[in-house]
Each structure stands twice: as structure tokens, then as C-alpha cells.
Amino acid sequence: MNCLDYRRILLAGEGESEAMRTHRLGCAACADTHRDHFAFEAELRAAMEVPVPNGLESRLARRSATPFDPARRRWLAAASVGVLAAGAGLYVWRGRDDSMAMACIAFVMKDEAKSVMMGAMPREEALRMLAETLPLQRVERIGRVQHIVPCPFGEGTAYHVILMVPQDKVTLLVMPDTPMPRRGRATQHGMYASVVPAGRGSVGVVGSSAAVVDSVVGAIRA
């Protein structure tokens, strides 16, 4: 190794190899370069380490991470939704669009991203709030819950759930205070929505495939 090689590698920021070290120990000029380089590197690192906003880690983790165990019962989800989907798709999506189902599609189009950015609610709270309408355990048997948070919806509040089923992503809007006398459907912007009675309230299911929406509805009502 010569001085040129030594300095080229050093200034590229690579660690000092044994060959470089041997050269430095026998070369006063490169020993000076080495000292100067490490002083500069310390300054460079300090300059690049811009202050990090307080609470960044927990804020990012809270917003990004699913509050639920992602591995839980995936096989069961795959099996149940797969079987249901096979029998679904026979529903005919025709007739007058239901206004509540239309509102569910509008929510996904306009407000879903905003809701995701709000972060997820704690699982314990979700268990409690959904218990009388659509128990969370039942949702978790259908697919992997990726996000859940309360959102203003219509005249009241809905619990916005993003659910990954084997075929697709679906959105659930669990509305504990919005009763529905019967099922309503709508299709718009390439999306399908179905709203069904559940407990004292109702649940809206939105997805990009009629068969998947029907199969999830079937699983909810089962």
C-alpha cells in the first residue's frame, strides 16, 4: 500500500484495514493525515446528528405499528375468508346505492389516510369499545387487524379498522350508535361497500372487490 491508496480509502470513510494500519505506522505523513481525518470525522458526525424531536421513537412506533400480534391465527383467517369468498361473489351488486354505504366509500376515499396518520388506539380500549357491536376477537378471526382508531363519521363516531384478509385490504367502519334496519350496498370509484346491522349498531365494509366484501360481511354475521 502506498500513501495515495491509504488516503483514498481513508477519505472514503472506510475503516482502517490491517494493511492500512501497517502503512500508517511506518509513514509519518499518513499518521498525520489519520489524526486529522479522525478529528474531522468527529466534527462531521456531530454536524450530521441534527437534534431529534422529542418523543419521535414512540410517535413513529405508535403510528406505524399494528397494535396486534401479526402472526396470530393467519392460517385461520386464510381458511375462513377463503372458504367464504368461494361462496360469495354470487351476490348481485345492483339496485339503488345505499346512502350509508356511499358514505363509507367516501370515507375511504377522503379520510382513510388522515385516520391512519392519527395513530392506533390501544387494544384494551378497542376491545371494550367494540364489544357490543362487533367484538374485536371476531374481527381478528377474519384477518389481520392493521389499524383501529375512532373517527368522526356521519352524525356520530365510527371505529375505523383496516383489516388485511388474504385476498386484499378491507376497511371496516364499526358504528356502535348507528343502527341499520337492513343491509345496504353501494359501488363507486371501483370500490364496493356493504353496511350491515351488528349488535346495537352497524358495520360498514369497504373493499375493491365485491366478492371479498361479501365474504367479510358473511364472516361478520356468522
Task: Report the site for another protein in 198-217 (rule: CB under 8 A).
Answer: none
What is the rounded CA–CA span in Å between residue 17 and residue 78? 52
Of these, 5, 32, 57, 132, which contacts another protein (CB under 8 A)? 57
From 53-61, 170-178, 179-187, 213-221, give the range in contact with another protein by CB under 8 A: 53-61
| Cβ contact 62:119 at 8 Å | yes
Considering only 48-56, 76-84, 92-100, 189-197, which stretch makes contact with another protein by CB under 8 A? 48-56
| Cell (9 digits) for 120 | 392506533
Near another protein in 66-85, by CB under 8 A: 66, 70
In 3D, which of 153, 131, 132 has the Cα closest to residue 200? 132
Q: How many CB atoms lie within 10 A of CB 146?
A: 17
- CB-nearer residue toward another protein: 17 or 188: 17
Q: How far is the CB of 104 from another protein (least distance, A)?
A: 22
**Cα–Cα distance for residue pair 90/32, rounded to 1 Å:** 79
d(CA 204, CA 183): 10
Give every CB contact of residue 84 below 8 A, 6+ residues apart in sequence: 215, 216, 218, 219
Q: Which of 4, 26, 28, 53 binds another protein (CB under 8 A)?
A: 53
Instruction: With contacts defined by CB under 8 A, name the span among 61-69, 76-84, 123-131, 209-217 that binds another protein.
Output: 61-69
Q: Say how far residue 94 (Cα) sits from the centre of its chain.
A: 32
By CB under 8 A, what part of segment 110-169 binds another protein? Answer: 116-117, 146, 164
Residues lying near another protein in the complex (CB under 8 A) are found at: 8-9, 11-15, 40-41, 43-45, 47-50, 52-53, 56-58, 60-61, 63-66, 70, 116-117, 146, 164
